[in-house]
Structure 1
């Protein structure tokens, strides 16, 4: 198994002694011989950068100063499997949301499944379970059952689906007792008629499957602060009306789009023309004959990306000016690593393969590390929150791979569409790169408030939606912004 850890330094510009070191890491994941190394490393790096962006946007005033390093952790992989009885933490036990059979054998997966059918006050006694064993096919499973074998159980029981969740312990000072959080380990796309939610808990070297009888009660405290009931349900999409009272309130459809391809200034215009890379804005407006704007957009950028991939395979020989050639001959150290050249690591002239222009003098090792990119970025503002919904549904226009990094079931950190085995379009939300701002939304309840000539008081930033006041550091940041951009009214502040 391996994981990645990103070390970074942040500071508040123009504020002394504000430097802060932060680290971000990915979860450890298994690494098999058939695993595509480049893809999983890229996935990890994208997640790290997304966490870094999230931190920059949430912590007021702090900006990224530098990346200190990227660490690779390697661990021995031991597959998790269910073994014998493990008592539940008191915090989970008090929720009365799970059934934990007290088995002394290694068949806890079987007992967790059968727990759904056991009634009465003695649900922990295995003796009450054996009469239900014939309801399901447990063949081809080994006991203790490993997590990946749950798929075998589903295959042998076509009307059954199983979700498996883990339990993670957190210590949050000054609290004296740990906090437990449920997280998904295996979740099906669609629940079938016989569906089971299981909890897989660990105790040092042992693991244990437990039946979740009330999922809402188990995870409610993770979602809300009060004791109201929370319903977790997978809703089915439908278009047909369900009676005379059904009304269409609102329907959003993409009607047009516009984008522009930005190329490096070193790329010759004739080369862009040769590969049909547009150099002026592309504008498209839908109509009766072109109603599916999302599909039209995806096809358009896929075609351009395919042409960019061909363009990047160009290799024009290097051309020197007399001054560049003389500077290259006299150069004694690599421009990147600053090390001297040697017989085993000789001098190389780095150049742009698309224009032939000389760029710098490098050692052979550094030159080989400069690889042609295997993707083209596609930037959207507020992609995660809105525009992604119009695009993601159209990405499956062919059989080529789609890669998604979700933030939730409805929001995406990033997603990619492959146009070939080795090249893709990577969609990126520019909003995630912007620092968060603070604004007294509920205080501004009339046009007259926008004429106010001073920043509202800290108490005026209270949000009834989150039932919370703003943090002092956020208010200090708002005052800094007001002063720095020399706002004269609250209206000018809202425009920033």
Structure 2
């Protein structure tokens, strides 16, 4: 049931807050609420109130059939496009500050209107005309009322001159409307601060489901058109989880076999909720500090700086005795400052790892997460797939479901094959008297055969043909079937239900051993526990910050952000001919001895990303070039001699116009310099294009420009530029992961550590 509100012939007085009303930039039109959008829109096109009634005929010049009244501002895009107008809608937050509710990207239209949307608590809403958006937002954005104020409606960034605004608008208009929040000048340093990630999370859970693949009856489909044919429904009938604690006694394995009609997923979540409360109690029983050791006391008293951040202790009150809260011993672990000691605290969540959670298990549990009072958060990959699901148990503990595949990008069988027998600690603990060679192999299961609860009661191993895998469209081998028969007999399995439980248990334990080994390796190499992270890129980024001890200055000028974003085009990684014919003595009868001997060579360059990331990269001091500097760099010799002049300590990005002389076209046609991102003729999507045309206002790194000039391209003008301090700060980290890392992390997608660090903020994302 829903409350019904009639909007017909209803005029509601919604009071505009005094501080907004006093700016005298909003107009309320005396019409019913449901028509307020029409009159507010017309009021924006015809600013004078007295003209609106006399020119109501102008309503007829617009197509209103695309709207339902009262108007939902989220559904205006077709109306805007059809009527060649763009409409921005603003609202007020709880502090009566103006916020964007709807911004349009159709800035190519000349007609535009800004509206204020207000609601009250009695199911009423109303639109008001905003006559001067700059005047409305000026007091909110800056307290300086004396300086000129030019506002960009796409990002709400303001400028003190028309010239600066126009330069900004030329780049900002290339992107969808986005409200950008940049760091303040006091908080614009990126450095390693996740000190708590340098302690192992005490409790981690590994889990898995088994499902019945119930058949679905479908009708005949039309073969003349494309279709999706649903053939199975995956219904969970059992689960298992394994808790890994700080010691052997705290480890625990739980398995559950459901009955027909039970909500197995909800039972799984209930079980985990109880486990979380038990673990929370253990977290609360913190071991006391033990100061009995003279060696520890001397170490504490003699410490002059914080173990983590290096801050020199000003007095003894800033010095903290850090110890392991989960161990029975309270011995000194580190001497920390108060700030680092606060950060170096226990986790407030329990990570639950499921292999391929994003693509499979999250589909099973997502429907059951909203049926409790406690909040659920998701980190989405798409509308249906989640990187992580976070379930609050209470105010102090959470369950965090994470995909182990996001760290170990291989099948469980491949991961198991990378471990030696002595690394299967948890498997051996749960099967102490069994040959590990028999268990370490990924078991084989009859997924498609098991489609009803009744089949779980069967007491004999299904035939080989029943192990047909419909997903991969293949049977198992004779060797695999012989292995299954041996397992069935060796473990004296009595039914398919027992076989399923055995399969599930070994899978969970194998995953636990693989991931626990990965945690230990990462901790020994990078001093970080992967269980704190959602994916391996997050782990890699923190590892980089910690390993290099770098302090990177973040951009606080949005125009600089736009400038660098415009420089991100992509690169062509190959140079190939459409047709090439060799002629040499190894070609037999096709060899023509009267022609010169020739060969076709295939050349490949490895480590392009890691090589480029080992060069000098920006670190700080991002500054626009002034007029004198621009004049200096309008000489190509000065461009070519940048490294010699600044000793590689200073780098540049330039916005240039550059010519591509005709005499270079033939020799450069296989791989032209300076690619561009454009929509080709008769196409709809942007492509990376290699052209021999003149480039206008092209933004590139100075090394790219040097290479182009050295190969004959002619610099016409440098329009703008940004200078920065640079160094090869990332080189030692890349070298370590290229040369040393793979030897230790053989089971890990180690390339993730050395991949590019550009993140696409995408349309309509808060950056």
TM-score under structure 2 normalisation? 0.27
Which of structures 1 and 2 has the bigger CA Rg?
2
Higher helix proportion, which one?
Answer: 2
